[in-house]
């Protein structure tokens, strides 16, 4: 594990555990980074951050309950689709940092040209 990834994961985890989440805290200084998550959500869920289609995936980024819980999402809400956009992005940042890319969203990452 490279230190850079460790630092990102640690910072994101600290944000999640503290519950202090804002758009700037999730992706420091970058509206562009938030734009990536909005584009990914548009592909995954039509951009509906509160969607529950009954397919076992929830929210704008279509988290499974197991993934949501494993990466700290239950601190915000039991179900991803009931968490705010910013909270969903915070968990997605932790997941992305742990995987070193957007591999948790393979089809949309490929479609959007995001690193997997």
Q: What's the CA gap between 116 and 107, in Å, rounded?
A: 10
In a domain, 45, yes or no: yes
Q: For the chain, what percent of residues have pLDDT higher than 90?
A: 69
In a domain, 69, yes or no: yes
In a domain, 25, yes or no: no
Mean pLDDT of the chain: 82
Number of domains in the chain: 1
Closest to 61 (Cα-Cα) out of 82, 33, 34, 80: 80
In a domain, 6, yes or no: no
In a domain, 93, yes or no: yes
In a domain, 90, yes or no: yes
DSSP class per residue in the chain: --HHHHHHHHHHHHHHHHT---HHHHSTT-HHHHHHHHHHHHHHHTT-TT-B-SSSEETTTTEEHHHHHHTTGGGT-SSGGGS-HHHHHHHHHHHHHHHTSSTTSHHHHHHHT---
* Beta-bridge partners for 58: 52, 63
Q: Name the pTM for this structure.
A: 0.74
Q: With contact defined as beta carbons under 8 Å apart, do 37 and 45 qualify?
A: no
Q: Which CATH number goes with the domain that contains 105?
A: 1.10.530.10
In a domain, 21, yes or no: no
Domain that holds residue 79: 34-112
| pLDDT tens digit sequence for 40-82 | 999 999 999 999 989 999 999 999 999 999 999 999 999 999 9
In a domain, 15, yes or no: no
């Amino acid at each position: 594990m490279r230190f850079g990834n460790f630092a990102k994961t640690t910072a994101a985890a600290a944000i999640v555990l503290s519950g202090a989440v804002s758009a700037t805290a999730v992706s420091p200084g970058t509206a562009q980074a938030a734009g990536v998550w909005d584009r990914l959500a548009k592909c995954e869920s039509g951009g509906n951050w509160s969607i529950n289609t009954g397919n076992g995936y929830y929210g704008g980024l279509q988290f499974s309950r197991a993934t949501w819980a494993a990466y700290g999402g239950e601190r915000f809400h039991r179900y991803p689709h009931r968490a705010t956009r910013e909270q969903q992005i915070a968990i997605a940042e932790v997941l992305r940092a742990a995987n070193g890319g957007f591999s948790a969203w393979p089809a949309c990452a490929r479609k959007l040209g995001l690193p997997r």
